[in-house]
Every structure is written in structure tokens, then in C-alpha cells.
Structure 1
């Protein structure tokens, strides 16, 4: 809840105004039964028509007044709640975008999505209720009790005796509800993950006739979440019937005891009617408190989940500048790395050895040189790129760019050095031009030049709107080869010092792949190129080639050198070319 109050503090003026308006509206509503009692017991018996009309108009005015103030307060509460949730989502998005690779893996994408959506909505609902229901419900409850005390102390004591029991059970049940709702949100993470996997891989699911299997998998996760939600909702619903029963018993006692006091001439009949109205208000107040505690239990669990992301340590620690005298532009010196928080903290898997994604990698590149990295799936090729761009920090060894440790760079300073195409990179629902520019303000001439160098011009020029052609989500209206050439154009457009192409030509035919690599070599000589590929033909023209297997470098040199010294490279070449 600290997170909720922290964000509400930014709008405390507007929130206090909404609370004040709600307070005035509720107070005017509390006067209605009192006015009614006075009219029945005093004004009507006087048979003064003018007084009856006057007090009737006063009661009507009070009704309109409380209605308008309550509506106004609710509107302001909704507006303030939306502003708070807007800030929460904005900060959560910024934090998520800057999470280190380890932290992102720790939270997981589905969980971050549910925190951004479901959890932030729960916070929004709580902020709204804190401004409206949290004012109205206690005022109805305690204000009603106070008003009844002024009217008849003996009848009011019936209500006062019940209040500690009602409030006690609400507090006890609410303390049980918060951890339950935390589990509900965790189950929701699983549902989101399965849903995302199925939406992303829907073609694979259909192609392998696994629709029914995935339906069952989703259904199982959905049922688990529903069970947790029902369990939490059932526990949180316990106070409702109990409070209603107590209030009904109290109402019965008020009618019976009140009738006796009227019969004894101690109170007027209008007091009984006013008491019944106040009793109804008190009932609404108690039920409102129950709703508040249910909402705040959800919001508290959600706020804790959001705060765990917002308060996560910034793992980008910029070290002091550290230079080494070297003519190399990029260098890896005995670099090792393993994924997973658990492996790093506990340091061991089965057998007592820590599994490393890469182990003891060393190589260097001059400015403008090209490096091809080849090896089987899972051998650590992409990990090298992740470490070079500092998505993760190395466990051992040193990585330098232009003689300077990557850990001494400012984040933006480092990332601006790169133009990169990752595996399964993203095409956004936007024009092809905006997909290439990506908000960098690159000139149209540079974009058109990049389009030609990536050979994307071949198909873009044939489109009716050219670069203004609108791509669908994930480039669904583009072929695999068209998307890859578009992504290469995006990487080239910024004229990067380091160009990284991670399996970016897998959907291209050999002729187009070769032509694109030739255009890049000729027109981007100033860029140091790192190309990851599965095909020997894609890397054999690179200045240097690194052959990887099981996280280790098993061969390094030019194509001719590797044909002589690396049997794995030679066998791969022969297998792919014969």
C-alpha cells in the first residue's frame, strides 16, 4: 500500500478536494432522516401547511445537494485514479524497458505483462475507492451511529454493541485475503504466459494439430487460476452474510424495543422511521467497508508485485573508465558467462558444476574488420552479442570496445555504437519508413540508401505506397525474407560503428544473401561487422571466422585457415556444399 500512497501524493490537492466534496455530500445525506423525523413528529402535527411545504422543499434541496456533490466527487475520484494508474504504468514500462537481462528473466515476460495490466488496474480501483467509498462508507457507518445517539441513546446502543464484532471480522478476514490474492496474480502470470505462447506460435500449433492439446493446457491453467480466485473471493465474502445477519437482528431489536418506547411515551413514532433509515445507511456503510477491504486486499497484493519491479536494483553499474593500450577495436579476453539467477547465486547444478553458456572466449577485431560466428544451435553465439551490448554482465573476463571496458560506458553511449538485427526481431504495426527510422530522426536519403544496401528496395519499390506501406503487427503481411531485409535496413540506416546481424539472412536465398553481404561490405566499410549464421556460405567471406561448440571456441581464423586447422568447420563446409 505504500506504493499507492506514494503515487497518490503527487495529486494530493486534487484528491483532498474529491474527498472534501464527498464528505460534504455524505454529510448532507445524513441529514435527510433527521429532517424526515422532524417533519413527522413536529411539523405535520402542527397542521401548518406553510411549514410542511418549507420543510419539504428543504428536504428536496438537501437530496439534490447530496446527489450533485456525490456525482461531482465520483467524477473527480475516477479522474484522479486514472492519473495515478497512468503514472504507475508509465514508470513500470520505463523500468521494464531498462531491466537487465538477468532481472527480466527473473520476473519473466508474462508476469511483467500481468503487472502492467491486471495489477495496475487493481491499483487504479483502490485509488478510486479510497477517495469515494472510503469516505462514504465510514461516514455512513459512524455518522449514522452518531445521529442515532442524538435521537435516542437506548436504541443507538443496540448498534454500538454490534460494531466491534462487525469490524473485527472484516479485519481478520482481510488479513487472510492479501496472500490469497497474491497467489491469484501468480496464477494469472501462468495463464498469460500460455496465452502468449499460443498466440505467438499459433501457426506451429495448427500445423502440428496440437490445438486440442493447447486448449487443455490453457484450460488447466485457467482452472487453477479460477480455483485460487474463487477461494480468495469466498474467504473475502465471509463477512458479508455475517454482517447482514447481525444487522437484521439489530434492526429487529430496534423495531421491537422502539415500539415499546413509543408505547411508553418515551419517543415519537418518527424516531422509529428515522432509525430504520439510519439503520439502512449503517448497513450500506458496513457493506461498503467490506467492499473496501476486498478491493484493498487485491490492490495491496498487486502493489507489492508492482513495487518489486520498480524497486529492483539497477544492475547497470557504470564503472570508472578503464582503458588498455591496444589497436583492437573489439576484444574478448577469457570471457565466461552463465544464464540464470539460481546458477549464479548457488553456483552449482547436478554434479556440482555450473553450466556455462560460454566458457573462456577470447578474440579481437580491428576497426572495420568482419567476424563470422558459426556453430550449432545453443552453442553460445547469441550470448556473445548479449554480452558485447551488455544486456548481461560477464561472470569472468573482460570485454573492451576501442580499448575501453564495456562496463565503463554509459548505457546510451554504448548502445548508440550498434546497429543490430536479432533472431526473430520485431516489425511494428507502422509504415515501413517508420519501422526503419524507429524514431531516430534519420534523413530520408540515409533510409533510402539503407533500403538499397539491404536489397529491400527490390520489393518496396513495387509496393503501391513504397516506404509508406503499412506493415501489420509483427510484419504479418510481409514474407520472411522481406522482413529480414527490412530489419537489416533498420540496422544499416544509423551508420553504426558496430553492425551485428544475428541469423538475419536465414529466410533469404543464397543469391540474395550474397548480394546483400557484398553491398554491406562495399558501402559500410567503416562498420565493424559481426555476422552470426548457420550457413558456411554466409561467413566464408568474413575477415575472421569463429567456430563454436558447447560454449567454447574450437576454431578461429579465415576460411582457408579453418579449412586446414578445424575439422568441424571443414566437415560442415563439405556437408553444405556437396
Structure 2
């Protein structure tokens, strides 16, 4: 709850306004039964129509005032709740976008999505309830008890016995409910993960006729979440039937004891009618407090999950020059004896997670304008080199240097502005081709078209009636694989980067288009230092340097011709591919 209250503080004036109006509404609501009692017991026996109309009109006006005050308070409360949840989502998105690769892996994408959506919605609902129910319900409870004690202490004794018991039950159940709702949200993470996997890979699922299998997998996760939700809801619903039973017993006792007291002349009939209404109000207040604790329990669990992300430490700090390592040479890009491990585990300390060694003692150097091709089997660490170069992760041993500086000494934006990148399975956004290429940068149409031509994409762009204004679907669903890759390469080239990284970005291109692309890069981007990860030897054989990886180790480094002579693994790949082509 500390996180929720911290975000509510910004809107304290508006929240106070909402709660003040709600307070007035609750007070006027308490006046209605009292006016009714006065009307029945004092005004009606006088037989004066004018007085009856006056007090009846006052009761109607009080009811209307209560309605309007509640509507006004609810509108302000809704607005405040939306503002608080908006701020939380903005901060959560910003912090998520700045998580390091290791932190992102520990939280997991499905968990981050559910924290951004369902958890933030739970907090929003709680903030709204705190402004409305947390004022109205206690006022109805305490005010109702106070008024009834003034009317008849004997009948109010019934409330004084029932209410404390119910409140103790509510507090005990709510304390048990918070961990249960936290488990519900964790099970929701699993549902989101499987749903995201299946929607993303729906073509594979259908192609392999695994729809029923995935339906069963999703059903198992959905069942687990449902069971956890039912358990939490059942536990938190325990006070409900108990309160209903107490309400019925209390009303029966009020009528029975009240009727006896009327017959004895100790109270008037109007007191019973007013008391029944107040009794309902008091029990409504108790049940409202139960709902408040349910909402707080759910929101507390969600707020704790959101707080874990917001409180995640910045584990990739910018090193001052005196603490940063110095490169052994003056090359533009240097890897010096780099060793790195991914840590595969849930949220928690690195020591508790399984260490997956990925790179061992990797060293290479590139001068400005040179090029490096990286080749090797799947899982050998090719993409990891790019992750370390762009500082998505930090090395365990050794050093990574760009332009004579340790990458850890750069501000992240300063470092990454040097790059133009196409990753494996890169993202095409739901926008025009123009905006997908521009991507928020100050680039004119001439820059965009030059990049399109260099990426060998001009022909298919020109074939579209809308040209660069053609609307791409989510993830480029209306583009072919080759069209998406050329669009992404256009995005990388458009800013004329200092470092151009192409991570298996030509796998969907035919050999002719791939050759034309490489020719354009070599001729028009000679001042860019290029790193290309590829599965085809033909894509990298003209690179200045070629790095051959196997199981995270460098088993070959040199030019194409040098590796044919010195690296059996590279020679085997070349012969297999070129022989297939022959």
C-alpha cells in the first residue's frame, strides 16, 4: 500500500475534494431515516398537511442531495484513479524499458506484461474505492451506530454485539487473502506467457497440427489460475454469508424487541422503521468494509509486484573514466578476452540461478570502416557478442571497447546512437513504412528513399500504390519475409550509423538480392564499421575479418582465404554450402 499512497500524494488536493464531497453525501444519507422517524412520530399525529408536506419535501430534497453529492464525488474519484494508474503505468514502462538484459530475463516478458495491465488495473480500482467506499462505509457504520444509540440504546446494543465480531473476521480473512491474490497474479503470468507464445507462433501450431496440444497446455495454465482465483475468492467471501446471516438475525431481533418496547410505550413506531433502515446502513457499512479489504488485499499484492520492478536497482551504472578499463590498442571496436554467462533463473540473486556459460575468452579488433563476419552453429554465442557490444549485458571478464572507450563509460543513449541494427526476428510496427523506417528520428524523405534503395527495397516500395505511406500490419503481417527484412535493413541504414550490425538479417533474401545488398553496403557505407552475423559463407566471405564460433569459443579468425586454409570447421561449412550450390 505504500506505493499506492505515494502515487496518490500527487493528487492529494483532488482526492481530499472527492472524499469531502463523499463525506457530505454520507451525512445527508444518514439524515433520511431520522427525518422519516420525525415525520411518522411527531408530524403525522398532528394531522397538519402542511407540516407533513414540508417534512416530506425535506426528505426528498435530502435524498436528491445525497444522490448528486455521490455522483460528483464518484466522478472526481474515477478521474483521480485514472491519473494515479496512468502515472504508475508510465513509470513502470520507463523502468521496464531501462531494465538490463539480465533483469529483463529474471522478470520475464509475460510477468512484465501482466504487471503493466492487470496489476495496474487492480491498483486503479483500489484507488477509486479508497476515495468512495473508505469514506462512505465507515460513516454509515459509525454514524448509524451513533444515531441508533441516541434513539434507543437497547436496540443499538444488538449492533454493538454483532459488528465487532464481523470486523474481527474481516481483518483475519483479509490478512490471509493477500498472499493468495499474489499467487493468482503469478498464475496469470503463466497464462499470458502461453497465450503470447501461441498467438506469436500460431502458424507453426497450425502447420504441425498442434492446436489441440496447445489448447491443452493453455487449459492447464488457465485451470491453475482459475483454481488459485477461486481459492482466494472463496476465502475472501467467507465474511459475506456470515454478515448476511447476522443481518437477518439482527433484523428479526430488532422487530421482535422493538415491537415489545412499542407495546410497553418505551419507544414510538417510527423509531422501529428508522432503526431498520439504520440497521441496513450499518450492515451495508460492514459489508462495504469487507469489500474494501478484498480490494486492498488484491491491490496490495499487485502493488508489491509493480514495486519489485520500480525498485529494481540500476545494475548497469556509467563508470567514471578513472574506473573504466583502457583498451590495449587504438582500434575502433575491441573485444579483449571476453567471458560471459547468462544467468537462467527467476527473480532473486544471481547466486541462486543456473549459470549458462556462453562466451569464453573472445578477442578481436576492428578499425573504423572495417567489417566483421561472424559464423557458427546455432547457440554458439553470435548474438551474445552484439548484446555485449551494445551493453544489453555486462561482461564477466575482459573488456569491450568502442572508439577507444570502455562501453560501460558511455551513457546508454550516447553508445546506442552509434548503431544501426537489424536483429533476428526484429519488430515491424503497426504504422506506415515511412514511420517504420524513420522511427522517430529527424530524417527527411531523401534520407529514407536512399536507405530504401541501398536495402534493395525500392522496387517493392514503388510497386505499392501508397509507396512509403503503405500501412504495415502488426509485426508486418501483410509483408513477406524478404520485404520485412529489407524494411528493417532500411531502418538500420537510414541514420547512416557509425556501426552497422546485421544479425542474420538476409536469411529471407535470395542470393541475388543478398549480393546486391552487400554491394550497396560496401560501396556506400565505407565509413561505417560493419558486423554481420550470417549462416551463409557467401554473405561474409568478403568481410575484412571473419570470426568462427563454436560452443562459445573462437575456433577461427582471419580472412576468408586464411580460414579456408587454417580452420577445418569453416572449410567444412564452405564446402557444404558451395557444393550444394554447385
Bin of the TM-score, shorter chain as denominator length: over 0.9
Give the match for residue 236 of structure 1.
Answer: 236
Any conservation in 1 of the 2:359–2:381 contact (CA below 8 Å)? yes
Corresponding residue number in structure 1 for 2:131: 131
Q: 2:390 maps to what in 1?
A: 389
1:134-533 matched pairs, under 5 angstroms: 134-321=134-321, 322=324, 323-324=326-327, 326-340=329-343, 342=345, 345-346=350-351, 355-533=356-534
> Are the equivalent residues in 2 in contact too, given 1:240–1:287 (CA < 8 A)?
yes
Q: Could you list the per-position Cα deviations for residues 316-372 of structure 1 after superposition, in whole angstroms to 9, with x for gaps in the alignment?
A: 2100124446320000000011111559833896xxxx5411110000000000000
- How many equivalent residue pairs? 574
CA contact (8 A) 2:179 2:301 kept: yes
Q: CA offsets, 1:269-311, max 9 Å, x none?
A: 1000000010111121111111111111110100000000011
Secondary structure of the corresponding residue to residue 360 of structure 2:
strand
Note closer, same or farther for the CA distance 1:60–1:155 as it changes in structure 2 (3 Å cut).
Answer: same
Is there any run of 5+ residues in structure 2 with no aligned partner, and where? Answer: none
> How far has the Cα of 1:198 moved from its partner?
0.2
Using the TM superposition, give the Cα deviation of residue 399 of structure 1 relative to its aligned residue in structure 2, in angstroms. 0.5
Of residues 244-253 and 424-433 in structure 1, the stretch that sits farther from structure 2 once superposed is 244-253
Aligned match of 1:21? 21
Whole-angstrom distance in 2 between the partners of 1:362 and 1:277: 82
Task: Check conservation: 1:325, 1:403, Cα contact below 8 A.
Answer: no
8 Å CA contact 2:343, 2:353 repeated in 1: no
Tell me the secondary structure at the aligned position of residue 377 of structure 1.
Answer: coil
Provide the secondary structure at the position in 1 that maps to 2:464.
coil
| 8 Å Cα contact 2:85-2:123 kept in structure 1 | yes
Q: SS of the residue aligned with 1:338?
A: strand
Give 1:91's aligned residue. Answer: 91
Task: Measure the CA separation in 2 of the matches of 1:361 and 1:355.
Answer: 16
Superposed, which structure 2 residues align to 1:12-51 within 5 Å? 12-51=12-51
Counterpart position of 1:565: 566
Q: CA deviation at 1:404?
A: 0.5
Alignment of 1:38-77 (within 5 A): 38-77=38-77
Q: Deviations over 1:150-201 (max 9, x none)?
A: 1111111110122210100000000111000000000000000000000000
TM-score by length of 2: 0.97
Contact 1:372 / 1:530 at 8 angstroms: preserved in 2? yes
Distance 1:345 1:445 in 2: 48
State the 1:315 CA deviation. 1.5
CA–CA separation in structure 2 for the residues paired with 1:355 and 1:60: 73
SS at the partner of 1:336? strand
Deviates more, 1:45-54 or 1:318-327: 318-327
CA contact (8 A) 2:343 2:356 kept: no
CA–CA distance in structure 2, aligned partners of residues 273 and 58 of structure 1: 18
The Cα of 1:260 is off from its aligned counterpart by: 1.4
Separation (CA, whole Å) in 2 of partners of 1:80 and 1:495:
45
Q: Which runs of 5+ in 1 are unaligned?
A: none
TM-score, normalised relative to structure 1: 0.98
Give me the whole-angstrom Cα distance separating, in 1, the residues matched to 2:11 and 2:472.
40
After TM superposition, give the deviation of residue 64 of structure 1 in Å: 0.5
SS at match of 1:357: strand
The answer to whether the 8 Å contact 1:328/1:364 transfers is yes
SS at match of 2:342: coil
Contact 2:372–2:546 under 8 Å retained in 1: yes
Name the SS of the counterpart of 1:420 in structure 2.
strand
